[in-house]
């Protein structure tokens, strides 16, 4: 059992099953526009910022205007599908509530902009448990850079090394590890790379496992 002073959660793919909806919207948008996005690229989108994903697609397609139309179409599809199909990841509510009830400060560090992230946290009843949130539009560099986790620790008033981080993606895990946090990964789409697997404190099958590891 570890004894962190705070726990910092990613949102997309970790607490909320947005990656499943995102993958479906990317496949549909690409098909609608006659673009073939390889599975490897779709996997690389997991935990990736929009600007970085856009750069990848421009390198593949070579037509900036077409890529702009693709991203606009995908965003429309994603928002429509999110309102109907989005669910929490298994064990998310129970894990966050258990850590909060045990007296651990629980924070959110999501690449999603605040105007989109907080309504989801309210929708699923999770916002009440978070003592602090950092969103993607509040830091300069996106994951896998450590900025968002360093800012989370700063706002918590805690050293990064004293925090546990929970992620679903390789990019997210690398960000938390680079910040110095004890990192747990709960993969949804992309399996951990060997370097991430060896550096993480644990690779979990679901969030149901987390409270026992942190509070017994």
For residue 173, the model assigns a pLDDT of 96
User: For the chain, what are the domain ranges?
Assistant: 6-17+87-215, 19-85
**DSSP secondary structure letters along 26-74:** HHHHHHHTT----HHHHHHTTT--HHHHHHHHHHHH--HHHHHHHHHHH
Whole-structure pTM value: 0.83
**Could you tell me if 108 and 8 are in contact, meaning their C-beta atoms sit under 8 angstroms apart?**
yes
User: Which residue has tokens 């947005």?
Assistant: 18
Please classify residue 94 by burial: count the beta carbons closer than 10 Å to its beta carbon, then call 0-12 exposed, 13-18 middle and 19+ buried. Answer: middle
Q: What is the pLDDT of residue 14?
A: 95
Q: Which CATH number fits domain 6-17+87-215: 3.30.420.40, 3.40.50.1000, 3.40.50.300, 3.40.50.150?
A: 3.40.50.1000
What is the residue whose two structure tokens read 């999770």? 126
The confidence score (pLDDT) of residue 47 equals: 67
Q: What is the pLDDT along the chain (216 residues), one digit of tens a residue?
A: 578 999 999 999 899 988 788 888 999 999 999 999 998 888 778 767 788 889 999 999 898 999 999 999 999 998 888 777 888 999 999 999 999 999 999 999 999 889 989 999 999 999 999 999 999 999 999 899 999 999 999 999 999 999 999 999 999 999 999 999 999 999 987 789 999 999 999 999 999 999 999 997
Q: What angle do CA 148, 83, 69 make, to 5 degrees?
A: 75
Active site residues: 10, 12
pLDDT confidence of residue 71: 93
Q: Which one, of 198, 196, 197, 159, lies nearest residue 180 by Cα?
A: 159
């Amino acid at each position: 059992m570890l004894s962190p002073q705070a726990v910092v959660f990613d949102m997309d793919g970790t607490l909320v099953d947005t990656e499943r909806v995102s993958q479906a919207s990317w496949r549909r948008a690409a098909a609608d526009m006659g673009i073939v996005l390889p599975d490897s690229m779709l996997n690389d989108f997991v935990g990736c910022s929009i600007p970085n994903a856009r750069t990848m697609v421009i390198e593949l397609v070579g037509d900036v205007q077409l890529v702009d139309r693709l991203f606009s179409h995908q965003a429309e599809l994603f928002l429509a599908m999110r309102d109907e199909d989005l669910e929490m990841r298994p064990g998310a509510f129970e894990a966050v509530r258990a850590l909060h009830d045990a007296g651990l400060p629980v924070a959110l560090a999501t690449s999603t902009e605040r105007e989109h992230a907080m309504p989801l946290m309210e929708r699923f009843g999770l916002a009440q448990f978070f003592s602090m949130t950092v969103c993607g539009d509040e830091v300069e560099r996106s994951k896998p850079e450590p900025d968002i986790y360093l800012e989370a620790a700063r706002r918590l008033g805690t050293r990064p090394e004293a925090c546990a981080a929970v992620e679903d993606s390789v990019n997210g895990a690398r960000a938390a590890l680079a910040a110095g946090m004890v990192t747990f990964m709960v993969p949804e789409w992309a399996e951990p790379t060997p370097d991430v697997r060896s550096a993480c404190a644990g690779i979990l099958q679901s969030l149901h496992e987390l409270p026992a590891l942190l509070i017994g």
